[in-house]
Amino acid sequence: MTVGSAVPAAGPARDAAVDVYGELVFVRRFLEKVHALYRQGHVHGPAHVGIGQEAIAVGVARALRPEDRSIGTYRGHAHALARGAPPDAVLRELLGREGGICAGKGGSMHITSVEYGYFGSYAIVGAHLPIACGLALADQLRSAGRVTVCFFGDGTTNIGAFHEAVNLAAVWGLPVVFVCENNGYMEYTPIGDMTPVPRPAADRAGAYGLRPITVDGNDVRAVRDVTGEAVEAARAGQGPAMIEARTYRMTGHSCADPGKYQPPDEVERWAERDPLLVHRAVLVDAGVPAELVDEIDSDTRTEVDELAADILAAAPITGDNALTDMWSDGGARWRN
């Protein structure tokens, strides 16, 4: 276990740690930009960002091979980007421009990048856990050595599909790693008010014969390491795992929700544990110059600002493709 170990003062490990910081910052700036664009009326339909939760998506992605699969929820922008989905196509989808990653048909809640192993964002709570089982089943039957990671929120642990899926994964020994992003709230309600156990995912794991694994979801290296162990065990045929990563959603449930039910002192406490600050401290401890870190911050801000400005300047998509992509023949005809 390498959780909490120091990063060496030089060499590839330090460079990798700096890269991870760059990814965290990029995802953060991207999500902040989405939030701002939503508030300005540029995003059509609801949008959900995971500001404060980025270390989970980034840390898990660092534990995966390119051929591994992941699948997530309507709060899925970070998860797609962390696997390598092109930010330009993701933002075009959110802003309804040509070149959107789902051709304008999915929008914020259904960001998908099969090319980069991200098999979709699903907006019905719990629905994608059984789907993750199917992805893993296909790989198990072909002895493909691939693993599927399935992200979900704490609220998901109270819907039936969660229990059906975890049971099936355990019974079949599927190579799937379930990652609960426990941000403390099922939409607007504290998860503790609606769950009889303190750890909504980990405390249910035992019912399905799985070892409860918990991790600090705001520590990107801890997430990477814990996930890496579970992923490699699954790859080796040791079956599924249940990880509960504790984190916090720094904004409301959706971009339309000011999150007034989140007590200010609670938000303040978690702000001190911001995943960017946590990892920045690791870099500084390793001797990475503060100026380099600051440069990453400011360069990324400029990069995301320019990306958004370019896309906003483009014309919105037309309605020409509304009747494509329905069936495998590319069209939408249901009768002759």
Partner 1 sequence: MAELTYRQAVAVALAQEMARDERVVLLGEDIGSGGVFKTLTGLTERFGATRVRDTPISEQAIAGAAMGAAMAGLRPVAEIMFSDFYATCWDQVANEIAKTRYMTGGQVSLPVVIRGASGSGGLGFGSQHSQAVENWAMCVPGLKIVSPATPSDMVGLLAAAVRDDDPVLVFEHKALYSMKEEFPVEDGTDHVVPLGHARVVRPGQDVTLVGLGFSVGLCQRAAERIDQEGVHAEVLDLRCLVPLDAQRVLDSVRRTGRAVIVEENPGQLGWAAAIGSIVAEEAFDALTAPPVRVSGANVPLPVATALEAAVNPSVDDIVTAVRRVLDPAPRTLCRPGVLNPSIP
Smallest gap from residue 217 Cβ to partner 1 (A): 25
Q: With binding defined as CB under 8 A, does residue 3 bind partner 1?
A: no
User: Which listed residue (26, 74, 122, 152) binds partner 1 by CB under 8 A?
Assistant: 122
Point out which span in 19-27, 108-116, 277-285, 298-306 binds partner 1 (CB under 8 A). Answer: 108-116
- The CA-atom distances, in angstroms, between 95 and each of 43, 78, 108, 303, 319 are 5, 16, 9, 17, 15
AA identity, residue 300:
T
Q: With binding defined as CB under 8 A, does residue 110 bind partner 1?
A: yes
Q: With binding defined as CB under 8 A, does residue 40 bind partner 1?
A: no
- The CA-atom distances, in angstroms, between 181 and each of 142, 143, 235 are 30, 29, 22
User: How far is 11 from 33, CA to CA, in rounded Å?
Assistant: 33
16 versus 172: smaller Cβ distance to partner 1: 172
Point out which span in 36-44, 59-67, 168-176, 235-243 binds partner 1 (CB under 8 A). Answer: 168-176
Cα of 251 vs its chain's centroid, Å: 16
User: How far is 247 from 183, CA to CA, in rounded Å?
Assistant: 5
Smallest gap from residue 264 Cβ to partner 1 (A): 37
> In sequence order, which residues have a C-beta less than 8 Å from that of residue 178 and are 6 or more positions away?
129, 132, 150, 152, 166, 169, 201, 240, 241, 242, 243
Contacts of partner 1 in 209-248 (CB under 8 A)? none
Q: With binding defined as CB under 8 A, does residue 132 bind partner 1?
A: yes
Point out which span in 8-16, 129-137, 205-213, 230-238 binds partner 1 (CB under 8 A). Answer: 129-137
Q: With binding defined as CB under 8 A, does residue 326 bind partner 1?
A: yes
Q: With binding defined as CB under 8 A, does residue 157 bind partner 1?
A: no
Q: How many residues bind partner 1 (CB under 8 A)?
A: 51
Q: With binding defined as CB under 8 A, does residue 315 bind partner 1?
A: no
What phi and psi, each to the nearest 5 degrees, are found at residue 101? -65, -25
Cα of 264 vs its chain's centroid, Å: 25
- Sheet with 212-216, side-by-side order of all strands: 118-122, 69-73, 148-153, 176-182, 241-246, 212-216
Q: Are the C-beta atoms of residues 54 and 24 closer than 8 Å to each other?
A: yes
Smallest gap from residue 16 Cβ to partner 1 (A): 30
157 versus 247: smaller Cβ distance to partner 1: 157
69 versus 75: smaller Cβ distance to partner 1: 69
Nearest to 16 by CA among 220, 214, 235: 220
User: Which listed residue (14, 42, 44, 105) binds partner 1 by CB under 8 A?
Assistant: 105
| Token pair for 273 | 């544990």
Smallest gap from residue 333 Cβ to partner 1 (A): 7
Residue numbers of the site for partner 1 (CB under 8 A)?
69, 71, 100-106, 110, 112-115, 119-120, 122, 124, 127-139, 141, 160-161, 164-165, 167-168, 171-172, 324-328, 330, 332-336
